[in-house]
Structure 1
Amino acid sequence: MTKPPRLSHRRPFLWALVLGVLVCALPQTATASAADDLSKQVVVGVAGLRWSDVQASPELTALVSEADVASISVKSSTQQTCPLDGWLTISSGTRAWGTIAGESCPELPTPVDGKIPGWQQYVDTQITHSSSAQLGKLGTYGSPCGFGPGAALAVADSLGQVENWKPTFVPADLANCQTAIIDAGIMPLREGRDEARAKLAVLVGQLKAAGARVLLIGVAEEQSGAHRETQVAMRIPAGGEPRWLTSGSTRRPGLIQLADVTATLLSTVSLKDPQDGGVLEVTGDRHTDAAAVIEDRLDTNQRFAQPRKILGLVGISLVLLQLAAIAWHRLRPSRRSRPVLVGALLAQCGFFSAVFLATLTNWWRFPEAGLALYVAVIGISIGLAALSYAALRRNLALGLAIAAYVTLVIDGLLGTPMQVGSMFADGPVIGGRYYGFGNSTFAAFAVATLVLAYAAARRLLAKSRAQAAAAVLAIGGLAIIVEGVPAWGADFGGVIALTPAVLLLSWITWRGSISFRALIGLGLTGFVAVAAFALADYARPAAERSHFGSFVARLLDGDTGDVFARKIRMALGPLHTVGGWIMLLAVVLALVACLAPQKVPSATFRAYVANDPLARPTLLALAVCGFVGMVLNDAGVTVPAIMIGFALPLAVAHLVANGNEIVKDTAP
């Protein structure tokens, strides 16, 4: 059975930067195209079509053996994807706003006198929400035939006019259509689902008999508030041997998104938004066992759905462990309570590696996937803490920074396979990025990079300031390259935030202080570095660009207003909740501690900063990185909050473990 695919000086830094730019500019190896070689192509959309439906239907299961398959993310711009949202997304080729979160799914409109009722309201909704969705793009540039109410939305032009549309489909209607969109309805929640599956299998059989290449997809949820999971995507028959569908927008074998359908039908039309789809391709090994494919797709849904559910439980467990250790140490301080407290703090630091390393256990294949994920993350967190404590002792906190840095560098170089299904990667169900480093990953990587750079520089400082500064540039430069290269981290905002922090720490390490003139120079250097990444990515073909190149294209077209407005709205989102304001308060207090450490009510902390010449520069670098990350990333205050969650226990663990020596070193 074939298994499915699984899912110095300035000069060294400049050389590293040049290397990164060259890597960006290298042509990417393309997978085989899934272009249609039959006379007709037909998209059949069904709201709520899940892999469990394929498993329950012998007729649909039989189709798997002759189809290129994938799971499809139906996430639209709203928090739910009703049929209206899904069909508008296909219309525009970008996630579109259709319904209001929390409200029931509306009925799909039926064309009246050749026009969609309320079309202008849908267009205005995109503007209100700063969405870049251009409704009617498929109908304007593709001119497909449409059948059924959902298909009317998909094939309408930019003015809502509908041509070549009929309310129902019969096989004879396909004679005059080169490309067709068929709304095959909504899967019933309970009664009638078996009949709906059988009817769908008959429809696909009729289309195959008519000489059509059929793309069968789940297009939306059955109802508002339904459990969100990736749905079915099958291209029947396969272009050759049945393999796995993918696209340039996901870069993951066996995973596509709804907007990819539009990009495939409009393969000659430029789509510029990072949330736009990519042309469907096939990749990976030939699959030979339909049952194994279906089981793999069901397991994949667990991989995408469980991390967010378990994240809170893991967080609460680690916090309770720390509170219990703090209470014991405060009430009964002893030689036994101190290592327990240090170990609890280090376990939280280990979490920032464990969220990624847990994917190596294939936890989603266990019968109780959620429990397996919980055990894996907690176990790895504690294991890393114990290993660092046993191996490093006096520098025990450093081990967790090394673990996170090495883990994420390796993951980045491999194309971020450990991000998929991790707690720090908003998967296709949530609608986050499908490849590269997200905001949470960047926050953990930034702390690990700056702490490791500090430790290396501190070790070399007595020997040579230049060597210490070069060490910062080497460690930070590698992180920036991994973070920014489109084939690796592909994180535009992360590069912007991390670059000035690394340059600042390196300069102060080298010179001992920084002037306003030097600060301006570092800012310009950082700008040049970021621009180099962006321009190199922009030089690639449009279909291969990441967020870097897409932003440059928009900037040159004068089309960035919606992007900025949408980013600002998302960044301010956390401040609509009490939790967001608590995070903001924590961030403000942390910035004060970094900028004015003498104000911190801890004699040990103040003594440590006063006695270590690189402690304060490192705090400044962390503050700069966190602040820039908060301002420029759409996650807003969440970015520095996650950085605090990693950096604070690292610092406290070090101070608790070495408090006596720190105070002794500063005693007169």
Structure 2
Amino acid sequence: MIGVPGLRWADLSPTGSPVLWRMAHEGSIASLSVRTVGAWTCPIDGWLTLSAGTRAAYPRIPCGQNPGDPVRRGDIFYAPMAANARQINLKSYFRAAAGSLGDAVHRAGAGIAAIGPGGALAAADSTGGLDAYAPAPETFHDWDRYRVTIVDLENVVRPYLGAGVSPHRPARVTVAQRAAAVRQADAEIGRVLAAVPPGGNVVVAGLSDESDAPHLRAVIARGPAFAPGHYLRSASTRRDGLTILPDLTATVLTAAGLSVPAQVVGDPWSHGGAYGEVSGAAEAMRGYDRAAQVVRGTVSGFFVAFVVCQLLVYALAAVGLRGSGGARRRRVLTFARTLALAGAAIPASTYLVNLVPWWKAPRPEPLLFAGVLAGAAALTAIALGGPWRREVMTPGTIVAGITALVAGVDLLRGSPLQMNSLMGYSPLVGGRYYGLGNIAFATFATGTLFFAAGIAHLLLRRDRRGWATVAVIALGAAADVLSGSPGLGAKFGGTVALVPGTAVTALIVAGKRVTPLRVLGFALLGVATIATICWLDYLRPVGQRTHLGRFAGQVMAGDALPVIARKLHAMLHTVGNIPLTLLTAGGVLFLFVVLLRTNGRGGGGPLTAAYERAPALRAGLTGTLVTSMSGFAIEDSGIAVPAIALTLAVPLAFAASARALADSPADSPGTGAGDKTDDAIQLL
């Protein structure tokens, strides 16, 4: 296993790295997400993660610090930092057992060797010991003696970090200097490949970042364990050509014919689809990294703009609701309604835009944002483009239905649209690589419940209350299956939260009373549902389990508390996210202070007028609030769940309210009742 910290696919070419390029022709390739504990991964963190098989780090030391050469005591070499690193990581959130790789080799009675200080840190067992060590490849000669040999080549990263240089302010390295460093590493790899006995498995991995600008890294594997001409794939990501750093530990052990310890969270690589020409595959992976970089650089600005626009729509709507002129007020409300529907269409549009390869453009950022806006405009045009635009709920039902459909179909296709999406997840963040992300869950659940309420509204108008209730339950159950299934959404907290939200929506549609005891009962049903899913996932073979099955195993082993504590800490930490907190507060205030308040004469608020025209709207909105608040308490993304849910729910509720007011006879031209209408809908 040859570790080249900092190596990217952008570094590789037939002339600049001929050895690696030839190796890619002969073996399998992928991109590697190297996210560990912090926002970027220092070389020492990458080596420790390889050692532990789960995310590990060595905090409070300079990023470029050399781990030091091992000290020989008798026949054993001891890595100087290994024992301390193990103690630190066993107390961390991830409970990373550094030394798991070396322990697995020694437990099988085999030997493990290392070349270079980083390699020694990765190869050391739980006592800090390894069987052989050499400072450089040219001084090591026993390539066929040890089952596993780990080589540290820091040619690429060393110019950036040096000895103790901060990743916040790495040394300035020119394009020519980086290319020269890559050529040096390529030549070193060539010498290693020439020394390795025929028939051995060789993996080259860029297992860390070189600065605080994280990237996806290059991985190339050659040997009997790997299929030539195929992308590497693992159960950790379920994506051809994308793997994670802990997979490296499982892969090294599996390729060496050794058992993978239970504490290793990564999965061994398998072969994915064939990639044909290396040049095309390499360009695809460069584009994948480019998309991740664009999303990383723009997502904060996008959310700030999204929050500001949502709050401005709320303000415009409040002004329109306070207006005293009938015709002028209707124009303001119509404009605000259109903007509200467009805002509600934004989440679906952020996924649909990934149907277009915007990252290939010379300037991808403008194309990305233009695509999102164009998609939202198209969805709004569909919602308001037919005779149904005069209906109270139908335009919102269309937006909600498309949102739920986009998320649902994306899940069935392996979630390609969520990856590198502004409201999805990123391989650089490494929180999720497949299934239903937290923000996507909020939009999917809200879209499903509002769409179910819209269908129920159509059935209730035909006096089909029973069928309306069945429709809500069926749509909610289908969404819950998509959300919780290990092969699709693999969503733990979302599956729990969606059950009571669906139940509350169905109860209101059925004309039944919603009580705290019933809500609690349905919440427990959600817990039972996900517990059953986790148990069934646990019963599958180890290599086929998702994080749901692994969590079930941790519960039975008594090791689940650190995971729960980490999730709880992450949830509480989200409250400090100012944009999301403002978005949540603005949505709640607008909903309860503007739309629901009654006046002193007993008149209903704007939303009450919509409820009178479409009683099912109350069901969809209430169910969404139950699900979003449950998600806030259960999901590690915390405040993001209600924040995003409200960006869809509140605009849809306002759009229905605005249409209901426009249809009010008291507000019709020529009645002279404009002031009376104002009195009837005084803001609460």
Give yes or no for TM over 0.5.
yes
Q: What does residue 200 of structure 1 align with?
A: 185
Deviation at 1:79, TM superposition (A): 1.5
From 265, 269, 291, give the equivalent of 2:279: 291
Tell me how far apart the structure 1 counterparts of residues 517 and 152 of structure 2 sit (CA, whole Å): 63
From 360, 365, 385, give the equivalent of 1:365: 360
Check 1:579–1:335 CA distance in 2 against 1; reply closer, same or farther (3 A cut): closer
Q: 1:49, 1:217 within 8 Å by CA — same for their partners in 2?
A: yes
Task: Confirm whether residue 161 of structure 1 aligns to residue 146 of structure 2.
Answer: no
Counterpart secondary structure, 2:3: strand
Deviation at 1:519, TM superposition (A): 4.2
Q: What does residue 135 of structure 1 align with?
A: 98
Q: 1:307, 1:373 within 8 Å by CA — same for their partners in 2?
A: no
Tell me how far apart the structure 2 counterparts of residues 64 and 58 of structure 1 sit (CA, whole Å): 10
Map 1:262-341 onto structure 2 (within 5 A). Answer: 262-267=249-254, 269=259, 276-287=265-276, 289-315=277-303, 333=328, 337-341=332-336
Map 1:196-595 onto structure 2 (within 5 A). Answer: 196-209=181-194, 210=196, 211=198, 212-223=200-211, 225=212, 227-237=213-223, 239-267=226-254, 269=259, 276-287=265-276, 289-315=277-303, 333=328, 337-391=332-386, 392-393=388-389, 394=391, 395-462=394-461, 463-515=463-515, 518-519=518-519, 521-579=521-579, 581-582=581-582, 585-586=585-586, 589=589
- State, as a whole percentage, how many aligned pairs show the same letter: 29
Q: 1:595, 1:623 within 8 Å by CA — same for their partners in 2?
A: no
Counterpart secondary structure, 1:340: helix
Check 1:128–1:607 CA distance in 2 against 1; reply closer, same or farther (3 A cut): farther
Check 1:185–1:517 CA distance in 2 against 1; reply closer, same or farther (3 A cut): closer
Tell me how far apart the structure 1 counterparts of residues 120 and 635 of structure 2 sit (CA, whole Å): 37
Give the superposed CA RMSD: 3.1
Tell me how far apart the structure 2 counterparts of residues 347 and 136 of structure 1 sit (CA, whole Å): 53
Deviation at 1:491, TM superposition (A): 0.9
Check 1:380–1:526 CA distance in 2 against 1; reply closer, same or farther (3 A cut): same
Task: Confirm whether residue 96 of structure 1 aligns to residue 56 of structure 2.
Answer: yes
Check 1:205–1:121 CA distance in 2 against 1; reply closer, same or farther (3 A cut): closer
Q: 2:498, 2:526 within 8 Å by CA — same for their partners in 1?
A: no
Check 1:346–1:168 CA distance in 2 against 1; reply closer, same or farther (3 A cut): same
Tell me how far apart the structure 2 counterparts of residues 159 and 593 of structure 1 sit (CA, whole Å): 63
Q: If the length of structure 1 is used for normalisation, what is the TM-score? A: 0.85
Check 1:293–1:385 CA distance in 2 against 1; reply closer, same or farther (3 A cut): same
Amino acid at match of 1:136: G
Amino acid at match of 2:250: A
Which 10-residue stretch deviates more, 595-604 or 153-162?
A: 595-604
Deviation at 1:152, TM superposition (A): 1.2
Deviation at 1:413, TM superposition (A): 1.4
Tell me how far apart the structure 2 counterparts of residues 541 and 342 of structure 1 sit (CA, whole Å): 52
Check 1:518–1:603 CA distance in 2 against 1; reply closer, same or farther (3 A cut): closer
Tell me how far apart the structure 2 counterparts of residues 74 and 173 of structure 1 sit (CA, whole Å): 30
Tell me how far apart the structure 2 counterparts of residues 44 and 542 of structure 1 sit (CA, whole Å): 27
Amino acid at match of 2:267: G
Tell me how far apart the structure 2 counterparts of residues 510 and 593 of structure 1 sit (CA, whole Å): 28
Tell me how far apart the structure 2 counterparts of residues 153 and 577 of structure 1 sit (CA, whole Å): 37
Tell me how far apart the structure 1 counterparts of residues 519 and 577 of structure 2 sit (CA, whole Å): 36
Tell me how far apart the structure 1 counterparts of residues 91 and 53 of structure 2 sit (CA, whole Å): 18
Q: What does residue 69 of structure 2 align with?
A: 110
Check 1:594–1:474 CA distance in 2 against 1; reply closer, same or farther (3 A cut): farther
Question: Structure 2: which 5+ residue stretches go unaligned?
Answer: 107-111, 161-172, 668-676
Deviation at 1:548, TM superposition (A): 1.7
Question: Which one has a bigger Cα radius of gyration?
Answer: 2
Q: What does residue 7 of structure 1 align with?
A: none
Deviation at 1:336, TM superposition (A): 5.1
Check 1:296–1:618 CA distance in 2 against 1; reply closer, same or farther (3 A cut): closer
Tell me how far apart the structure 2 counterparts of residues 397 and 206 of structure 1 sit (CA, whole Å): 64
Tell me how far apart the structure 2 counterparts of residues 613 and 662 of structure 1 sit (CA, whole Å): 16
Deviation at 1:128, TM superposition (A): 4.3
Tell me how far apart the structure 1 counterparts of residues 259 and 469 of structure 2 sit (CA, whole Å): 48
Q: What does residue 604 of structure 1 align with?
A: 606
Deviation at 1:388, TM superposition (A): 0.9
Deviation at 1:314, TM superposition (A): 4.0
Q: 1:497, 1:629 within 8 Å by CA — same for their partners in 2?
A: yes
Deviation at 1:237, TM superposition (A): 5.0
Q: 1:59, 1:198 within 8 Å by CA — same for their partners in 2?
A: no
Matched pairs, number? 621
Deviation at 1:169, TM superposition (A): 2.2
Amino acid at match of 2:143: L
Deviation at 1:475, TM superposition (A): 0.9
Check 1:104–1:172 CA distance in 2 against 1; reply closer, same or farther (3 A cut): closer
What CA deviation, in whole Å up to 9, does each residue of 1:539-597 have, x standing for no partner? 21111111221111111111101101111111122234544654564576589679986
From 40, 44, 48, give the equivalent of 1:80: 40
What CA deviation, in whole Å up to 9, does each residue of 1:327-376 have, x standing for no partner? 59759946654443222222211111111111111112222222221111
Which 10-residue stretch deviates more, 120-129 or 206-215?
A: 120-129
Deviation at 1:658, TM superposition (A): 3.1
Deviation at 1:301, TM superposition (A): 0.7
Tell me how far apart the structure 2 counterparts of residues 122 and 580 of structure 1 sit (CA, whole Å): 36
Q: What does residue 176 of structure 1 align with?
A: 145
Tell me how far apart the structure 1 counterparts of residues 484 and 446 of structure 2 sit (CA, whole Å): 16
Deviation at 1:168, TM superposition (A): 2.2
Check 1:531–1:641 CA distance in 2 against 1; reply closer, same or farther (3 A cut): same
Tell me how far apart the structure 1 counterparts of residues 70 and 353 of structure 2 sit (CA, whole Å): 50
Tell me how far apart the structure 1 counterparts of residues 471 and 520 of structure 2 sit (CA, whole Å): 22
Deviation at 1:654, TM superposition (A): 2.3
From 6, 26, 48, give the equivalent of 1:66: 26
Check 1:319–1:595 CA distance in 2 against 1; reply closer, same or farther (3 A cut): closer
What CA deviation, in whole Å up to 9, does each residue of 1:265-322 have, x standing for no partner? 234545657x9211111111242x2322222121111122222333344445556666
Tell me how far apart the structure 2 counterparts of residues 643 and 516 of structure 1 sit (CA, whole Å): 22
Amino acid at match of 1:70: A
Tell me how far apart the structure 2 counterparts of residues 84 and 602 of structure 1 sit (CA, whole Å): 63
Tell me how far apart the structure 1 counterparts of residues 307 and 596 of structure 2 sit (CA, whole Å): 27
Deviation at 1:516, TM superposition (A): 5.8
Which 10-residue stretch deviates more, 233-242 or 617-626?
A: 233-242
Counterpart secondary structure, 1:173: coil
Question: Structure 1: which 5+ residue stretches go unaligned?
Answer: 1-42
Check 1:515–1:605 CA distance in 2 against 1; reply closer, same or farther (3 A cut): closer
Deviation at 1:126, TM superposition (A): 2.6
**Structure number with higher relative contact order (C-alpha < 8 Å, ≥ 6 residues apart):** 1
Q: What does residue 44 of structure 1 align with?
A: 2
Q: 1:47, 1:83 within 8 Å by CA — same for their partners in 2?
A: yes
Tell me how far apart the structure 2 counterparts of residues 324 and 423 of structure 1 sit (CA, whole Å): 21
Which 10-residue stretch deviates more, 356-365 or 153-162?
A: 153-162
Amino acid at match of 1:107: N
Tell me how far apart the structure 1 counterparts of residues 551 and 381 of structure 2 sit (CA, whole Å): 44
Tell me how far apart the structure 1 counterparts of residues 633 and 283 of structure 2 sit (CA, whole Å): 43
